[in-house]
Amino acid sequence: MKDGYKLIYKRPKTLLSTRMHYCPGCFHSTIHKFLMEVIEELEIQDKTIGVCPVGCSVFAYDYLDIDMQEAAHGRAAAVATGIKRILPDRIVFSYQGDGDLAAIGTAETLHACNRGENFTFIFINNGIYGMTGGQMAPTTLEGQKTTTCPYGRETADSGMPMKMAEIISQFEKVAYVERVSCDTPANARKAKRAIKKAIEFQMQGLGTTFIEVASNCPSGWKCTPEESLKWLEEQVFPYFPLGVFKEPAKRRQ
């Protein structure tokens, strides 16, 4: 470090310098970085095994310098269960989108939570199927337009957006549930803190930890990154409120 300079930011060693494929403004890259910072800070790179899903983060293992397994669409929770049960002293997380976790893999998600599997879910909820070109997700908001609901989501046809954090927090053996976002620096810092807490609770063996990220998708939402933040604040947060839904030994007020 040159005299007079102070290091205030650097890429965590656990994050590879590979150029990411994520769209500009997407929170995936931010969450990847937070997760890898947490792994570096807790010095658990040699103990961590990640599971990536089918969805935009299908290539997560190209960026994260840890051991990883690729799961079939929706099966990440089952795969993570298999890993954690065979290697109970390791730190295991699944990194999943809304189609993966809340549509095709709902059964695996709920049952892993019901068993209290001691791994961490990182759930990226952007209300759309980003990777396949912007189709409706189980979390697409009422009236929100996607390629498969071009006139807006009709709840009479498709039901209401699924509130996974609220659902997951009902399970006895789930230790910690928080919904976070990265739309402002303050919220981003909270997101990282939540991820760190989740991993720490896992290290203490407290049970399932579940971080839902109310995320954006400028490409799928057909807007600029800036507009996507506005949409989050005005449309998403009122329906998917941020906050802690469950904490160890403390139920939601």
Sites of contact with another protein (CB under 8 A): 45-49, 51, 58, 61, 64-72, 75, 78-83, 85-87, 90, 107-108, 111, 115
CB of 67 to another protein, least distance (A): 4
Query: Would you say 221 and 231 are in contact if contact means Cβ atoms under 8 Å apart?
Result: yes
Query: Would you say 37 and 44 are in contact if contact means Cβ atoms under 8 Å apart?
Result: no
Report the residue number, 161 or 207, with the smaller CB distance to another protein.
207
Report the residue number, 115 or 145, with the smaller CB distance to another protein.
115
Report the residue number, 123 or 221, with the smaller CB distance to another protein.
123
Q: Tokens 């969450």 appear where?
A: 31
Query: Would you say 21 and 33 are in contact if contact means Cβ atoms under 8 Å apart?
Result: no
CB of 121 to another protein, least distance (A): 14
What is the Cα–Cα distance from 119 to 229, expressed in whole angstroms?
Answer: 30
CB of 107 to another protein, least distance (A): 5
Report the residue number, 47 or 145, with the smaller CB distance to another protein.
47
The length of the chain, given as a count of residues: 253
Report the residue number, 91 or 137, with the smaller CB distance to another protein.
91
CB of 29 to another protein, least distance (A): 19
3-state secondary structure at position 210: strand
What is the Cα–Cα distance from 129 to 214, expressed in whole angstroms?
Answer: 14
Q: Tokens 């994260």 appear where?
A: 64
CB of 91 to another protein, least distance (A): 8
Report the residue number, 75 or 153, with the smaller CB distance to another protein.
75
What is the Cα–Cα distance from 2 to 53, expressed in whole angstroms?
Answer: 42
CB of 115 to another protein, least distance (A): 8
Report the residue number, 47 or 196, with the smaller CB distance to another protein.
47
Task: Return contacts of 69-76, CB within 8 angstroms, 24+ apart.
Answer: 73/99, 73/100, 73/104, 73/105, 74/100, 74/101, 74/103, 74/104, 74/105, 74/106, 74/108, 75/105, 75/108, 76/51, 76/52, 76/100, 76/101, 76/105, 76/108
Query: Would you say 250 and 160 are in contact if contact means Cβ atoms under 8 Å apart?
Result: no
CB of 173 to another protein, least distance (A): 14
